[in-house]
């Protein structure tokens, strides 16, 4: 299996894999094409001409809700979630390296937070704010709701990273007299940079697209996914495809930047690296 000629199974599996990738990306490509419908065009094929009419409509936006407001909120919320998720997960990852009371309790709470159905968490947060007579807003209750989704992912990534982390570099630095803070800053952080980048990517993208947990927690002003949901129920024009294309493009840009940065970090290490780089 591992040597010599390809077995026939390889080709069947490769075809299946190819079909799966088509299945994953095909639909999004279809709406990307449809978002360039001519002004007369409808929600499905055939294409009636080719134009950027629906993108203009999106920005002219009288009939459609508060797209730019929702977009702005989602972007800001995504960045805040990203920063909090990265810092909190990194710190927790450091903490979990030593034994302390309650470690496994916290770990299982994090796992539970990931798999308790989103609608239950959203309802609980909504009810909590209702009982405390605090208005639910996108930057308070919705922020908290999204963190219950992004932090477990962040923590799991940090666990995986620290499991592969070779402590002897740290000990060497300590032995040479570096302070704890300096060890973290000059040894731990650079080695873990790619993993932290991964945490940040999860933090931003999962927040930017989150709907289920945010739904009961966002309050009066919608985030972009909530706005999209409202639009979707009475969409009659390809304007929703235009919005879909743009927001997917933004996601791809963010993912692309993260991957490019990861490759850059890897290459830079390969060039300047000592042995320390091989561990991460």
Partner 1 sequence: MSQPDLNNTMATPETRRRVSGPFWSVLSTPRIAPYLQVMPITAVFLVFFLIPVILVVVISFFDYQTYDILIPDFTLMNYQDVFSSSVTYETYWTTAKLSLIVWAVTLVLGFTLSYFLAFHVRSRSRQVVLLLLCTIPFWTSNEIRMISWIPLLGRDGVVNTVLQTMGIVKQPLEWLLYSKFAVVLGYVHLYTVFMIVPIFNSMMRIDKSLIEAAVDSGAKGWQVVLNIILPLSKSGLAIGSIFVISIVMGDFVTVNVLGGGQVASIGKVIVTDLSSLQFPPAAAESMVLLAFVIILIAALVKIVDIRKEL
Whose CA is closest to 95, among 158, 49, 138?
Answer: 158
- Alpha-carbon distance of 61 to 239, in angstroms, equals 10
Q: Could you tell me the smallest distance in angstroms from the CB atom of residue 213 to partner 1?
A: 9
Answer whether 93's CB lies under 8 Å from 195's CB: no
Q: Could you tell me the smallest distance in angstroms from the CB atom of residue 100 to partner 1?
A: 4
Looking from the CA of 104 toward its CB, the CA atoms found within 13 Å total 0
Nearer to partner 1, 125 or 187 (CB): 125
Nearer to partner 1, 106 or 139 (CB): 106
Sign of CA dihedral 58, 251, 200, 144: positive
Nearer to partner 1, 28 or 270 (CB): 28
Nearer to partner 1, 6 or 272 (CB): 6
Task: Name every residue whose Cβ is closer than 8 Å to that of residue 140 and which is 6 or more positions away in sequence.
Answer: 129, 134
- Alpha-carbon distance of 132 to 151, in angstroms, equals 25
Nearer to partner 1, 182 or 278 (CB): 182
- Alpha-carbon distance of 148 to 261, in angstroms, equals 27
Q: Could you tell me the smallest distance in angstroms from the CB atom of residue 257 to partner 1?
A: 12
Q: Could you tell me the smallest distance in angstroms from the CB atom of residue 60 to partner 1?
A: 21
Q: Could you tell me the smallest distance in angstroms from the CB atom of residue 225 to partner 1?
A: 6
């Amino acid at each position: 299996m591992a040597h010599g000629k390809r077995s026939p199974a390889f080709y069947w599996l490769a075809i299946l894999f190819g079909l799966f990738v088509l299945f994953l990306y095909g639909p999004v490509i279809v709406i990307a094409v449809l978002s360039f419908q001519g002004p007369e065009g409808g929600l499905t094929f055939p294409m009636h001409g080719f134009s950027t009419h629906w993108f203009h409509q999106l920005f002219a936006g009288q009939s459609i809700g508060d797209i730019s407001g929702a977009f702005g909120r989602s972007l800001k919320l995504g960045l805040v979630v990203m920063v909090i998720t990265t810092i909190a997960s990194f710190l927790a990852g450091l903490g979990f390296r030593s034994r302390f009371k309650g470690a496994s309790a916290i770990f299982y709470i994090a796992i539970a937070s990931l798999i308790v159905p989103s609608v239950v968490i959203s309802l609980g947060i909504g009810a909590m704010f209702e009982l405390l007579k605090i208005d639910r807003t996108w930057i308070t209750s919705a922020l908290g709701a999204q963190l219950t989704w992004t932090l477990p992912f962040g923590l799991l990534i940090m666990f995986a990273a620290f499991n592969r982390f070779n402590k002897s570099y740290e000990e060497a630095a300590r032995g040479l007299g570096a302070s704890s803070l300096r060890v973290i800053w000059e040894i731990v952080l650079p080695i873990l940079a790619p993993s932290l980048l991964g945490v940040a990517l999860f933090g931003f993208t999962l927040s930017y697209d989150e709907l289920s947990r945010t739904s009961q927690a966002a309050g009066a002003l919608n985030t972009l996914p909530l706005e999209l949901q409202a639009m979707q129920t009475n969409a009659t024009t390809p304007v929703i495809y235009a919005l879909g294309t743009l927001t997917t493009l933004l996601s791809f840009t963010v993912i692309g930047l993260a991957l490019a940065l990861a490759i850059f970090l890897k290459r830079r290490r390969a060039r300047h690296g000592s042995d320390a780089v091989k561990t991460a």
